[in-house]
Structure 1
Amino acid sequence: MDWETHARRLADEVVRPESRWYGPLATTPRHLFVPHWWHSGERGWELRDGQADAERWAEAAYADRTLVTRVGALHADDAEPGTVAQGFPTSSSTLPGLVVAMYRHAMLTDDCRVLVTTGSGYGTALMCRRLGDSRVTSVDVDPQLVKLAGDRLDGMGLHPRLEVADITGPLPGEYDRIISTVSVRPLPASWLEALRPGGRLVTTIAGTGLVLTADKGPGGGAVGRIEQAPAGFMRTRSGADYEPMTAAVWAVAERGDGEEVTTDRYPLLLPSDAWDVMSMLSLAVPGVECRSQEDGESRTVWLLHADGSWARATATSFLGSPTVHQSGPRRLWRELERIRNRLNRSGTLPVYGARATIAPDGTVVLSRGGWTATV
């Protein structure tokens, strides 16, 4: 494979030639980090083998898109040919443009010591190309991912510090920058302990599209903001897979009548299709989950929560008023309506550009105008 040509094309797509990230993008063989990946198909997650089709391999690896490498507990490298996996993605090689965007938020200097998250190892390779591998520590909770990434980085002559570690717990060292391409909630207090004075953290808040950047102050806390551009990453996990939090609720919500039936004033919206709405909803109801289904012209959206709350809204046309069934200790659709009322009144929502004040224990208070939220 003439991967250098593909890598240069990817670099041209993601950054300008004068960018300090152009060289790392143009000289890093991304295909080596994703020899196998999962493709979302009609039957589930279908296995793709790069060596079986070099052209498709190059096209996928050097496109600015995310490649899922692990579904549930099954890594694509361990799957038998023809395997179709079921479940949620648990690891990936994030689209290069988003990796670089997160790194740019960190405001790197050439002498920074940086902690990043491992995943496939591709993002770690980019950081090593940018700063030198002696300044990079890369961590992941999954020993297999750390070993695979380490072997592939070694093959490129890159030798960062690699550690098996839960990024929500104690971190192995002190750093000028902590950049997490997995989402967290709450913000780990260990990050503030591991950051040097004046150091910066960059992450996303789980369940939202919010990119949080913050600089550590002299009192052990940090001050920052929610960046204007949204981003989403898989949330942290402590085991091989995510725990099924809403399975029992779904069994009732899928078709149940509920305790309350109303008609919504707004056209049907899947909150996860609107970053700002979903972010506000997740801040108001941490842990809320969205699902959707289409059946001809009929569309249904569910909101689910592990506390037993659920809502199901169905509309028979694009602009039709949905019928909403709700049950449980909270009326989830009513929470969504409050957010849409605010958006309708002011034309915007306050989450992006909000100020972030972080206490030493990791508590984050977001504020903008008269709006506040605690994470």
Structure 2
Amino acid sequence: MATQTTWRTSAARLAAEVAPAGSRWRGPVASTPRHLFVPRWWDTPPGVGYGQWELHDGPSDDESWFAAAYRDQTLITRVAGGHADHAASGALTSGRPTSSGTLPGLVVRMLRHGEIHEGVRVLDVGTGTGYSAALLARALGDGLVTSIDVDPYLVEAAAARLDAAGLRPEVVACDATGPLPGQYDRIVSMVAVRPIPPSWLAALRPGGRLVTVIAGTSLIVTATKTADGAAAGHVARDWAMFMPTRSGADYPPALGDLAKDQDGERISRGRYPVVDAGSSWELRSMLEVMTSGGIEHHFEESEDGRRTAWLAHADGSWARAGAYGSELPEVHQAGPRRLWDLLDDIREHWLLNGALPLYGARAFVWPDGAVGLARGGWRRVIR
């Protein structure tokens, strides 16, 4: 088993990487044994596509455990309904990640957006492994930190691991989209939401600050509660993506082969080459904002250079675009909306204006959770 000196040396190196000199978060990162919070995790084996996972057991290999735990990377701890803690040695599984130990650098960035200082009471939304609650408790003390997660096992495991690290913040199992267990000066979310739950504004004290990511996008919204019960702020000039909130053990089934091979109701020539919009965070975010959200993306590039992208939405809209290299694609579309046309409209706006209006936009959060965005003459409401 690795020694105290080993993990402290590793944690200090991680702290220097993710927290600037003078940051209030450097000390908490350096003094928190992250390996305790991720004893087992899922990873994609070499040469295997995303969605296939292999179990890693930390205590059986200290060197690999510490290399993973003290690297600035996300470690997937739960796939579909299966937590790594409960898997048999050498297990393989498939599905979408449903919980993780978020990369420490992102945790620190979200906490910095929260403008957290001594004496504020903080709600950490999305307990996960408990690591973000640990950093908060190190910085503020146990009594000012509450952490919530929808998954009772995650709460139980995180509380035990926090206790093993000498930390005892309040950790509660509850649905973050429903009533919250207190009143807070700061709400910092490590899960994505759309819209912002009304209960967050109700639980936020006047002048309190919330920080969250809009589901399906990379938009970090920061807002301060105003006297009328709403909140005002902006979209940070920063980006992040988190798993969305869930109410059950897994997310609803993917849309699957909705756009895979069938002919579209409309077949046309695209205006721009095929792009992997799912991995282009700004394009993806703008498409989510300009629609009702929930678009699924898939992209493939064959050895001969053919690029194919699929978009699908639960309302039945889908699009498939395919072409070689920089050629203009043949586009198949069907359903109530033409998703690829919307994407091409966004790309045209980008080319004509040199940027999209998302990052730095003013943000207004109404008591019902809807978020209004505004920049220059551009306006949009996220519901």
Quick check: 1:20 aligned with 2:24? yes
Instruction: Report the 3-state secondary structure (helix = DSSP H, G, I; strand = E; otherwise coil) of the residue aligned with 2:76.
Output: strand
Relative to the length of structure 2, the TM-score reads 0.95
Q: Could you report, residue by residue, the CA deviation over 1:194-238 in whole angstroms, capped at 9, with x for unpaired residues?
A: 000000000000010000000000010010100011110000000
Quick check: 1:71 aligned with 2:82? no
Quick check: 1:148 aligned with 2:154? no
Quote the Cα distance in structure 2 between the aligned partners of 1:228 and 1:278: 16
Within the candidate set 6, 9, 19, 1:5 is matched to 9
- Unaligned runs of 5+ residues in structure 2 are none
Quote the Cα distance in structure 2 between the aligned partners of 1:254 and 1:19: 48
Partner of 1:57: 65
Quick check: 1:138 aligned with 2:147? yes
Partner of 2:354: 347
- Unaligned runs of 5+ residues in structure 1 are none
Relative to the length of structure 1, the TM-score reads 0.97
Quote the Cα distance in structure 1 between the aligned partners of 2:150 and 2:28: 26
Q: Could you report, residue by residue, the CA deviation over 1:140-171 in whole angstroms, capped at 9, with x for unpaired residues?
A: 00000000000001111211111101111100
Query: Structure 1: which amino acid aligns with 2:82?
Result: L
Within the candidate set 58, 70, 83, 2:91 is matched to 83
Within the candidate set 208, 214, 219, 1:210 is matched to 219
Q: Could you report, residue by residue, the CA deviation over 1:234-259 in whole angstroms, capped at 9, with x for unpaired residues?
A: 00000000011523xx2x41111111
Summarize the alignment of residues 313-332 of structure 1 with structure 2, pairs less than 5 Å apart: 313-317=321-325, 319-332=326-339
Quick check: 1:101 aligned with 2:109? yes
Quote the Cα distance in structure 2 between the aligned partners of 1:105 and 1:8: 22
Query: Structure 1: which amino acid aligns with 2:365?
Result: I
Query: Structure 2: which amino acid aligns with 1:358?
Result: V
Quote the Cα distance in structure 2 between the aligned partners of 1:17 and 1:348: 32
Summarize the alignment of residues 186-335 of structure 1 with structure 2, pairs less than 5 Å apart: 186-247=195-256, 250=257, 252-285=258-291, 286-296=293-303, 297-317=305-325, 319-335=326-342
Give the CA deviation at 1:5: 0.7
Query: Structure 2: which amino acid aligns with 1:311?
Result: A
Q: Could you report, residue by residue, the CA deviation over 1:263-321 in whole angstroms, capped at 9, with x for unpaired residues?
A: 2121211112222211110011211111112221112110000111100111222x121
Quote the Cα distance in structure 1 between the aligned partners of 2:240 and 2:188: 14
Quote the Cα distance in structure 1 between the aligned partners of 2:72 and 2:163: 24
Query: Structure 2: which amino acid aligns with 1:50?
Result: G
Partner of 1:183: 192
Quick check: 1:32 aligned with 2:46? no
Partner of 2:377: 370
Query: Structure 1: which amino acid aligns with 2:18?
Result: V
Moved more, 271-280 or 142-151: 271-280
Query: Structure 1: which amino acid aligns with 2:290?
Result: A
**RMSD, matched Cα:** 1.0
Instruction: Report the 3-state secondary structure (helix = DSSP H, G, I; strand = E; otherwise coil) of the residue aligned with 2:278.
Output: helix
Quote the Cα distance in structure 2 between the aligned partners of 1:174 and 1:227: 25
Query: Structure 2: which amino acid aligns with 1:76?
Result: A
Q: Is the 8 A contact 1:245 1:306 kept in 2?
A: no
Instruction: Report the 3-state secondary structure (helix = DSSP H, G, I; strand = E; otherwise coil) of the residue aligned with 1:6.
Output: helix
Quote the Cα distance in structure 2 between the aligned partners of 1:52 and 1:245: 35
Query: Structure 2: which amino acid aligns with 1:5?
Result: T
Q: Is the 8 A contact 1:51 1:57 kept in 2?
A: yes
Instruction: Report the 3-state secondary structure (helix = DSSP H, G, I; strand = E; otherwise coil) of the residue aligned with 1:273.
Output: coil
Quote the Cα distance in structure 1 between the aligned partners of 2:284 and 2:236: 16
Q: Could you report, residue by residue, the CA deviation over 1:328-348 in whole angstroms, capped at 9, with x for unpaired residues?
A: 111100010110010010010
Quote the Cα distance in structure 1 between the aligned partners of 2:322 and 2:8: 50
